[in-house]
Amino acid sequence: MGIARTRAIALFGIEAIVVDVEGSITDGTPGLHLIGLSDTVRNEIRDRVRAAIINSDQQFPHRHIAVSLFPISLPKQGSVFDLAIAVAVLAANNVIPAQACASMALIGELGLDWQVRPVHGVLPAVLAAVEAGVSVVVVSQANAAEASLVPGIDVIGVTSLGTLIAQLRGMSPPDEGGDDPHDSYHPTAHPTIGLPGDLDLAQVRGQAGGRKAVEVAAAGGHHLALVGPAGTSAVMLAERLPGLLPDLDHDTALEVTALHSLANILPPDKPLIVRPPFRAPHHTDPRGAVLGARTSRTVHPGAVALAHRGVLFLDDAPEFSVQTLKSLARPLEDGTVTVSGAQGIVTFPARPIAVLAAHPCPCGAPDAQACTCPPGVRQRYLARLPRSLLDRVGIKVRLAPASPAELRRDLAAAESSRRVADRVQVARDRAARRLADTPWRTNAEIPGPELRRRFTPPAQATAILDAALTGGQLTPRGLDQVLRLAWTLADLSGSTAPSPEDITTALRLWDGFSEPPNS
């Protein structure tokens, strides 16, 4: 008996690495010896593989069986290696031809009853397999639709180890009632994750300033803070923001879908996410639910990563722990979030539009006269929002209760999400043309030094900024935020560069907590 080879995939967050799996049966102490796995994972896989092979009506070799997963030093966790190890053992025992499995990668967990069970993270695993030149991937039937999203690779979906053995031996597989995933799956648009599909911006009456702020945030990818008493529609505005964003392009859709695959929250029938996601963690959720959590075996993306290229909504933002809010500042600026785990440091893409909503005080009263909070509590409440986080928020809006006149006017004036989304798309197209030779997609992504070097507004507009800096209205970080906003306003108006009016409006949006936008 010689050496049988196949491949598996090791996951490290959204990144994946192809692992060579080699099996050999020789004389020596009988047993299955797994090389390159931690002790806990090794013992669990050994028992599952042995039981699955026996229950597939195959004889488990009473010999010394060595299975090596290379690179040996690479940390490997989880049950994703079960199927590849079982096939390596069977090929080394001549149950299946060694050449039949040499060119494929196998991803799946084995049940003791021989069933091949689905695992999370199949999409990033298959993407890595394609990049490594793998032409065939075997997954659980339940993961086949997800794996089929990746072009350039043949996907074999199986329900049991016995089915796979029959296919690799060139025999007719047993009829287990499964369907060919290629016959049943057709990628279609999936609704925005986490929201119903009938939300329209025109439903937010009496908040013209808030609607305009949401439009600017969508057009430029700017973070947004909304402060107002209860009933001023901050939640409604945040929930309608995803509807203003364009569809995800193919590469971005795969990236977003891969993150949801890692979190094991993809819908089984339509796994491809083509609309911007929406995530709204609660302030009682642990820090790991927002930023990402580590376990003894893996690292899971948090809400900030799961909202990538969509919207992250923090309602009652001051109620979140100060440490969580401070930790959000860096991801919102860099577009990535890092989580430390047993496998080392894992980095997830995290570039959502963040929306922070807050009342002026804990009781949410419409004005200071009606507030029941002690003066010290009211003063300290918004101070719980760290300056380091607010500095990354380009648009700050203070919402006021709508007057009867504003409500009547909005019966005719409030625009639909479709109409506003059209303007957002045009503005984003203008920005994309201007940024075509750069790695950035939206105005909010441009780093400060590059923003000032590449995109200098006209001298008249620059003079307004210089005056604001001199007068202490702007900090250097605030200057960058205002410049980004001004370019977005220019894109929305169809201008080739920000005008003095754009700069003035951007300054008001940046310092918008000073007065209600509807006054």
pLDDT at 179: 43
Same domain as 354, residue 387: yes
Same domain as 310, residue 223: yes
pLDDT at 413: 84
- Is the CB of residue 424 less than 8 Å from the CB of residue 416? no
- Given 403, 434, 465, which residue is the final one in a domain? 434
Residues 6+ apart with CB under 8 A from 60: 50, 53, 54, 89
How far apart CA 292 and CA 339 sit, in angstroms, is 6
Tell if the pTM clears 0.85, that is, is over it. Answer: yes
Same domain as 16, residue 116: yes
How far apart CA 144 and CA 107 sit, in angstroms, is 11
Split into its structural domains, the chain has a count of 2
Question: Where does 284-421 show beta strands of DSSP type E?
Answer: 293-294, 299-300, 311-314, 336-341, 344-349, 353-358, 395-398
Same domain as 164, residue 17: yes
Structure tokens at 105: 């990668």
How far apart CA 318 and CA 184 sit, in angstroms, is 47
pLDDT at 55: 94
35-70: burial string, b at 16+ Cβ within 10 Å, e else: ebbeeebbeebbebbbbbbebbebebbebebbbbbe
> What is the chain's pLDDT, residue by residue, as a tens digit (519 residues)?
578 999 999 988 888 999 999 999 998 889 999 999 877 788 889 999 999 999 999 999 999 999 999 998 888 887 899 999 999 999 999 999 999 999 999 999 999 998 999 999 999 999 999 999 999 999 999 999 999 999 989 999 999 999 999 999 986 555 554 444 333 334 444 556 667 668 999 999 999 999 999 999 999 999 999 999 988 999 999 999 999 999 999 999 999 999 999 998 987 777 899 999 999 999 999 999 999 987 766 788 999 999 999 999 999 999 999 999 999 999 999 999 998 766 678 899 999 999 999 998 888 887 777 888 887 887 788 889 999 999 999 999 999 988 888 888 888 888 999 999 999 999 999 999 999 999 999 999 999 999 988 888 888 888 888 888 888 888 888 999 999 999 999 999 999 999 999 999 999 999 877 544 333
How far apart CA 20 and CA 26 sit, in angstroms, is 20
Give 511: exposed, middle or buried? Use CB within 10 Å, 0-12, 13-18, 19+. Answer: middle
Structural domain including 251 reads 201-434
Same domain as 251, residue 113: no
Same domain as 273, residue 131: no
The edge-to-edge listing of strands for the beta sheet with 136-140 is 31-35, 64-70, 15-26, 3-12, 104-106, 136-140, 154-158
pLDDT at 187: 43
Same domain as 270, residue 405: yes
492 within a domain of the structure (yes/no): no
Same domain as 118, residue 25: yes
How far apart CA 208 and CA 204 sit, in angstroms, is 8
- Domain CATH code at residue 426: 3.40.50.300
Same domain as 211, residue 136: no
pLDDT at 22: 96
453 within a domain of the structure (yes/no): no
Question: Where does 359-517 show beta strands of DSSP type E?
Answer: 395-398
How far apart CA 278 and CA 265 sit, in angstroms, is 13
Same domain as 223, residue 113: no
Same domain as 157, residue 35: yes
How far apart CA 487 and CA 481 sit, in angstroms, is 10
Same domain as 227, residue 292: yes
pLDDT at 184: 35
CA distances from 48 to 53, 83, 413, 485 (A): 9, 10, 64, 56
Residue showing tokens 């940024």: 435
